Amino acid sequence: MTIAPGHTTPPTDASVASVTDASVASVADVFDPVFSRLERWVDLVESYAARSGTIADRAQFDFLVEKLVRAEFDDSNGCVIGAGFVSAPHFLGWHLAWWLGGRNAASQGQPATGIRHLETVEDPLEESFRDYTALEWWRVPAQTGRRHITGPYVDYLCTDEYTLTLTLPVYRDGSELIGVVGIDLSVDEIERDLVPRLNAGAVAATVINASGRVVVSADAHLATGALLRLPGLTELLSDRTLSITALGPDGAHSFQWCGRTGLAVVAGPLPS
């Protein structure tokens, strides 16, 4: 089949809607397994926190998290950049039980040779201390109590990688937030995984985050990291209660949130 600009049949509303549905399912196929593993970590961490009473031991805790993280790096194919648990300040103090894979900008293409602990400044009085509770990957799951995907962004203080961060909140006794568990994924690996699943001919699906930033797109000319500019999109993204699903010129595009991940899919006719 030859596809030349201007010679394709315009997609029907039904085909746009079905591509949107299929793409939301594809996003779930890629991210749900990661969240399932994170949920298992949440369970383990929560049961540990319940056992340890009010005083949790940092070293014991790190030992537990490192074991979980190590298995994650062993299983996944270089997709995971970093993973771990970040403590609420009142639980273990300011503390990141976070590990980085052997894969980074300096060792690209090589198998992960080991993992290393991320050293951070944990004293709030130090100049380079950072209050991580103000950051999106902490703030959003802490507020909503749900899974969240942050990014894509260049993680310039940690690995210099182009990254997506998946986080889940962790509670003690079902109500007291004691931290978040998370995994950093490489955007190029996500692209490799997700783009083939989005391909659908005349209708192009684009996965965006809650700021309207492109995560990946079936439209080869839409760059990851660019902001998707469509009339009506900003309003849709700022108010989750809106049930509108059509947007763009002539309402030819279709919009759908990917569950409560913070990602959404926009599908529409490929620009000719």
Partner 1 sequence: MPQSSRAGSGTRAAIFAPLDGAGRAELVLQRLTDAIVLGVLHDGERLPSEAELARQLGVATVTAREALEILRRNNLVHTKRGRDGGSFVTFAGGGSTDLQDDRLLAWSRVQVRDLGVHYCAIAGLAAELAGDRASAADITNLERILDRTDAGIAEAARRGQGTFRLEVAALSQSARLVREELRLQAEFGALLWLSLREPLRRERCRAVQRETVAALVAEDGARARQLTVEQIMESVEWLIEAKSLLEKSPLEQKGSSAMPGTTSTPVPTGASA
- The number of angstroms, rounded, from the C-alpha of 160 to the middle of its chain's C-alpha atoms is 17
How many other CB atoms are there within 10 angstroms of residue 125's CB atom?
A: 6
Q: What would the two tokens of residue 7 be?
A: 């010679």
Closer of 15 and 76 to partner 1 (Cβ):
76
Nearest approach, Cβ of 136 to partner 1 (angstroms)?
7
Nearest approach, Cβ of 51 to partner 1 (angstroms)?
27
How many other CB atoms are there within 10 angstroms of residue 265's CB atom?
A: 24
Residue 85's SS3 state is: strand
Closer of 102 and 251 to partner 1 (Cβ):
102
Nearest approach, Cβ of 82 to partner 1 (angstroms)?
6
CA 17-21-146 angle, 5° bins: 130
Residue 102 CA to residue 78 CA, distance in Å, equals 9
Closer of 11 and 136 to partner 1 (Cβ):
136
How many other CB atoms are there within 10 angstroms of residue 253's CB atom?
A: 24
Nearest approach, Cβ of 26 to partner 1 (angstroms)?
23
How many other CB atoms are there within 10 angstroms of residue 204's CB atom?
A: 25
Nearest approach, Cβ of 123 to partner 1 (angstroms)?
13
Closer of 58 and 130 to partner 1 (Cβ):
130
Closer of 15 and 209 to partner 1 (Cβ):
209
Residue 122 CA to residue 128 CA, distance in Å, equals 9
According to DSSP, the residues that pair with 148 across neighbouring strands are 167
Residue 28 CA to residue 40 CA, distance in Å, equals 17
Nearest approach, Cβ of 268 to partner 1 (angstroms)?
20
Closer of 19 and 81 to partner 1 (Cβ):
81
Q: For binding to partner 1 (CB under 8 A), which residues are involved?
A: 82, 86, 96, 98, 105-106, 118, 120, 127-132, 134-137, 150-158, 160-163, 165, 182, 184, 211-213, 224-227
How many other CB atoms are there within 10 angstroms of residue 4's CB atom?
A: 7
